[in-house]
Amino acid sequence: MRVVYSKKFAKQYKKLPKKLQRQTKVRISLWQENQKNSLLRQRRLAGELAHLYSINITGDIRVLYEVIGNEIYIFQLIGSHSQLY
């Protein structure tokens, strides 16, 4: 599995408070260990964002990522529900 972070994701991540940065690292590590973990509440999006998947960081903060082929995961965006959708 190869994980890549988009420039926009990196920029948004740096703007997060340190606590949310730590929570994001923990959740991404958890995702890398087991993508089906129920804590992540992972789901495929619909409509214009149908090519993306979402995982929960906190109750309101989400990470959106894209799957390219079978092995490449590109983390695209991070933000609150209202910012992303």
Token digits of residue 29: 């590590």
User: pTM value?
Assistant: 0.90
* Domain of residue 66, residue span: 2-84
Q: What tokens does 17 get?
A: 């408070």
What does the pLDDT read at residue 70? 79
Residue 48: per-residue pLDDT? 92
* Total domain count, the chain: 1
Q: Residue 55 contacts by C-beta under 8 Å, 6 or more apart in sequence?
A: 27, 31, 40, 41, 42, 62, 63, 65
Per-residue pLDDT 10s for the chain (85 aa) are: 789 999 999 999 999 999 999 999 999 999 999 989 999 999 999 999 999 999 999 989 999 999 998 788 999 999 988 888 7
Give the CATH number, domain containing residue 49.
Answer: 3.30.2310.20
